[in-house]
Amino acid sequence: MRVIVVGAGMGGLAAATDLARQGCEVTVLEAAASPGGKMRHVEVAGRGVDAGPTVFTMRWIFEGLFADAGQRLTDHLTIAASDLLARHAWRTGGRLDLFADIERSAEAIAAFASPADAQGYRDFCARSATIHDTLVGPFIASERPSMLDLVRRVGDLRALWRTMPMRTLHSALGVHFRDVRLRQLFARYATYVGSSPFLAPATLMLVAHVEQDGVWQVKGGMRAVALALHGLAEGQGAGFRFNARVERVLIEGGRAAGVRLAGGEELRADAVVFNGDVSALPALGARGEATPRAKRSLSAITWCVNAPTSGFDLAHHNVFFAEDYAAEFDAVFKRRRVAEAPTVYICAQDRGAVGEAPAPGAPERLLVLVNAPPDGDVARFDASAEEARAFALLRACGLEVEREGMVATTPEGFHAVFPATGGALYGRANHGMAGSFARLGARGPLPGLYLAGGSVHPGPGIPMAAMSGRLAAARLLEDRAGRPRPVQGLGLQARAR
């Protein structure tokens, strides 16, 4: 069976690996010059800086993908667990490190806030673990369920109720934390799926457990992950063509039958897996609907830096907060602008478990990120004005960055690389109880067309997008074999190990 995979992001690479392994003749067509998609690398002053994802979690999903292909993840990547999950600082004062070890974090929280907050944190960890364990098999590692399917799969209404789909993340955090800075810190997990903690369900607490389960650092940076997956797919027999933009999905007899490339070349296939954002499907003639602007997830303004820093001992992951978190999401999602004082995330990629800390005064590589509205198709963003505001917050927290030679990317820039998105980086926002069910599943809007990537179930983030690719491959093969049963529990053996 010939399968064309459009896009070499995490979802496309995972789908290509599984399909090639199971005997399909797979061709991956990628518009960019290299694999990885959002896992991009940007050259700054002669060095490649990771410009996309930096937090690597749910390692078991990648272990499962490699193991099923008869390989070991650790033979292809050097990865180490981070003891220090992230360093946090506030403009109004206070610094807090969060650790992989819950008790160590609880002690830090007791000293930073109060013993009651430390106990609240322990309870919060237990709660997020329960939510995670309830949903990892029936939701994350399984084909997209309807709400009713999920009730059936979990088989315990009370357990499902305890995932708190009716409550917002921010309000649920009030139960655990008196200190508003702690609410802010843990509410930020909603942004991992491009959402506002004031609109997303408390179910997203599960992200806290995902981090507790392991945040990994990769030697060679995140780019090494993309290269390893590319190598894995090629090793299973998948062929790759880069600089190959698909401009049309060909339809015959009502089925996806191949693609047409920019330039006019047509390639036939028995099935097509699309790894771009689902919003691009209508422009490719493949039916479907673009995500309405009001439902899009967060975009960002990022600065890739290669410069000396001083005044603040950066960890690998760092978050700098202003004081009014509600104002930030109000600005982005309602007023459609970057907040006056946005939260600033910095990945100092040379530091941490696998890096070598830069010598004092030597340049180091940073990804600096603030949240922005996903309006890159309808608005202009002034990167230098936003830069002044973001770096003023850093300075107020004690960090100086000598910022010569930075490369900025705005929502317009993301929209140009990820078409039809407005720069939304995570597909549709997970807002409201139904948000998690609103994403499309592996079956696309046409027979023979399958979907993989962060804009479809189970959602964004590199492990989830990889999981979506595995689900798309499994669905495609089940459909070809005439077995309508849902795909469930994919890769969970690797987690059990």
Ligand X SMILES: Cc1cc2nc3c(=O)[nH]c(=O)nc-3n(C[C@H](O)[C@H](O)[C@H](O)COP(=O)(O)OP(=O)(O)OC[C@H]3O[C@@H](n4cnc5c(N)ncnc54)[C@H](O)[C@@H]3O)c2cc1C
Question: Which range binds ligand X by CB under 6 A, 51-59, 108-116, 210-218, 473-481?
Answer: 51-59
C-alpha separations of 496 from 59, 285, 363 in Å:
12, 42, 42
Do residues 401 and 39 lie in contact, with contact meaning Cβ atoms separated by under 8 Å? no
Least separation in angstroms between residue 200's CB and ligand X is 16
Closest CA to 429 of 141, 190, 212: 190
Q: How is residue 168 annotated by DSSP?
A: B
150 lies in the site for ligand X, by CB under 6 A: no
In 294-342, DSSP assigns E strands to 299-307, 309-310, 317-321
Query: In this complex, which beta carbon is closest to ligand X, that of residue 240 or of residue 418?
Result: 418
Q: Does an H or E element contain 436, and which?
A: none
209 binds ligand X (CB under 6 A): no
> Near ligand X by CB under 6 A, which window of 42-50, 176-184, 461-469, 478-486?
461-469
Residues counted in the chain: 497
DSSP annotation of 265 reads -
CB of 38 to ligand X, least distance (A): 3
Query: Binding of ligand X at residue 54 (CB under 6 A)?
Result: yes
Name the amino acid, one letter, at 365: R
Selected binder of ligand X within 3, 19, 42, 55 (CB under 6 A):
55
Considering beta carbons, is residue 278 or 487 the nearer one to ligand X? Answer: 278
CB of 162 to ligand X, least distance (A): 25
Question: Could you say whether residue 53 binds ligand X (CB under 6 A)?
Answer: yes
Q: Figure out which of the listed residues 271, 425, 451, 476 binds ligand X, where binding follows CB under 6 A.
A: 425
Question: For ligand X, what does the binding mask look like between residues 58 and 97, x meaning CB under 6 A?
Answer: ----------------------------------------
30 binding ligand X? (CB under 6 A): yes
Taking contact as CB under 6 A, which single stretch among the options 29-37, 92-100, 213-221, 385-393 is the one that binds ligand X?
A: 29-37
CA distance 442 to 42: 31
Q: Which of 88, 433, 321, 58 is CA-nearest to residue 209?
A: 58
Establish if 233 lies at the interface with ligand X (CB under 6 A): no
Q: How far is the CB of 166 from ligand X (least distance, A)?
A: 26
Of residues 3, 5, 9, 183, which one binds ligand X by CB under 6 A? 9
Q: Is 11 in the site for ligand X (CB under 6 A)?
A: yes
DSSP state for residue 364 in the 8-state scheme: E
Q: Is 453 in the site for ligand X (CB under 6 A)?
A: yes
Question: Binding to ligand X by residue 462, rule CB under 6 A?
Answer: yes
Member of 20, 24, 39, 256 binding ligand X (CB under 6 A) = 39
Task: Return the number of other C-beta atoms located less than 10 Å from residue 24's C-beta.
Answer: 25
> What are the structure tokens assigned to 337, written together?
């602008």
Q: Give helix 10-21 / helix 223-235 axis angle, nearest 10°.
A: 20
- DSSP for 263-280, please give it: TS-EEE-SEEEE-S-GGG
Among 276, 288, 352, 363, binds ligand X (CB under 6 A): 276
The region of 165-173, 227-235, 429-437, 459-467 touching ligand X under the rule CB under 6 A is: 459-467
Q: 10 Å Cβ neighbour count for 385?
A: 10
Taking the C-alpha atoms of residue 265 and residue 417, their distance in angstroms, rounded to an integer, is: 22
| Identity of the residue, 203 or 299, whose beta carbon is nearer to ligand X in the bound complex | 299
Q: How far is the CB of 259 from ligand X (least distance, A)?
A: 8
Q: Which of 37, 64, 376, 422 binds ligand X (CB under 6 A)?
A: 37
Tell me whether residue 295 is exposed, middle or buried, using C-beta atoms within 10 angstroms of its C-beta: 0 to 12, 13 to 18, 19 or more.
middle
Tell me, residue by residue from 98 to 137, as one string, x for binding to ligand X by CB under 6 A and - for no binding. ----------------------------------------
What SS3 state is found at 360? coil
Q: Does 279 bind ligand X (CB under 6 A)?
A: no
Question: What radius of gyration do the chain's Cα atoms show?
Answer: 22
Residue 9 C-beta: closest distance to ligand X, Å: 2
Read off the amino acid at residue 236. Q
* E strand or H helix that includes residue 102: helix 102-112
Closest to ligand X by CB, 149 or 387: 387
Quick one: which segment of 146-154, 172-180, 348-356, 418-426 binds ligand X (CB under 6 A)? Answer: 418-426
* Cβ atoms of 256 and 250 closer than 8 Å: yes
Between CA 349 and CA 315 the distance in angstroms is 9
Using rule CB under 6 A, residue 258 touches ligand X: no
Q: Is 302 in the site for ligand X (CB under 6 A)?
A: yes
Report the largest interatomic distance among the alpha carbons of the chain, rounded to a whole angstrom: 67
Q: Which stretch binds ligand X (CB under 6 A): 9-17, 72-80, 132-140, 333-341?
A: 9-17
Q: Phi and psi (nearest 5°) for 251?
A: -120, 130
Interface positions with ligand X (CB under 6 A)? 6-12, 29-32, 37-39, 52-55, 245-246, 275-276, 280, 300, 302, 369, 418, 425-426, 453-454, 460-462, 465
